[in-house]
Amino acid sequence: MTKCSYCGCVNIDGTDVCDQCLEPLGEQQFSPYVDSEMQRSLLHDKVVLLLPRRPVIVEPATDVRSVLQLMVERSIGCVLVVDDGRLLGIFTERDAVVRVGAQAQELGGRAVRDFMTPGPESIEIDAQIAYALQKMDVGGYRHLPVMSAHRVVGVISIRDILQYLARHLEVVEY
């Protein structure tokens, strides 16, 4: 017998979807049992519900000075480095501080590819929000590129997940 981690229904082994809630049983990888509405939402709701923002994309040869100026002008915490439609890297505020730092004046003319985080983790737009949260937690990421059919379609931040959680919290009166 297989217990659905979304609704708790017991299903016959080998069943692909839950008899009660019709959720796929094979994708349930986060918890053997879900005991709160918040957990159900995280396991059921998809990244698309976070309304991923349109990413700011730069080419690998773009100079760091221009990228930093773009980040300041748009008040954003990251840019995605894309070449010919392929995600190569991500350049974040952390990269700016740790890799460029106080040498921004001298290094400003160099290409962002020299300072980006190459091969960043990403998330599919139809992945569960719980999976995005887990990736961000384990990797220590504040931003995740969102993909669909191997193409960048957006970016989410930990703030997006916090706003999602806040909307789902019950108001407790004291």
Structural contact between residues 50 and 160, judged by C-beta atoms closer than 8 angstroms: yes
Domain assignment of residue 25, given as a range: 1-44
Of 125, 121, 143, the closest CA to residue 71 belongs to 143
CA distances from 69 to 50, 75, 98 (A): 27, 10, 17
Mean pLDDT of 65-91: 97
Q: Examine the domain organization and report whether 57 and 19 are in the same domain.
A: no
Q: Examine the domain organization and report whether 37 and 67 are in the same domain.
A: no
The H-or-E segment that residue 167 falls in is helix 158-168
Q: Examine the domain organization and report whether 39 and 54 are in the same domain.
A: no
Is 73 inside any structural domain? yes
In this prediction, residue 2 carries a pLDDT of 77
Q: Examine the domain organization and report whether 38 and 80 are in the same domain.
A: no
Is 107 inside any structural domain? yes
Is 173 inside any structural domain? no
Q: Examine the domain organization and report whether 6 and 68 are in the same domain.
A: no
Taking only the tens place, the pLDDT of each residue in 18-47 is: 776 667 776 544 455 556 778 888 888 999
* HEC-encoded secondary structure of 79-117: EEEEECCEEEEEEEHHHHHHHHHHHHHHHCCCEHHHCCE
State the chain's mean pLDDT as an integer. 88
Structural contact between residues 164 and 136, judged by C-beta atoms closer than 8 angstroms: no
Q: Examine the domain organization and report whether 61 and 123 are in the same domain.
A: yes
Q: What is the pTM of this model?
A: 0.78
In this prediction, residue 4 carries a pLDDT of 74
Alpha-carbon gap, residue 109 to 156, rounded angstroms? 29
Is 53 inside any structural domain? yes
Alpha-carbon gap, residue 32 to 35, rounded angstroms? 10
Taking only the tens place, the pLDDT of each residue in 110-166 is: 999 999 999 999 999 999 999 999 999 999 999 999 999 999 999 999 999 999 998
Number of domains the chain contains: 2
Of 45, 6, 49, the closest CA to residue 26 belongs to 6
In this prediction, residue 12 carries a pLDDT of 83
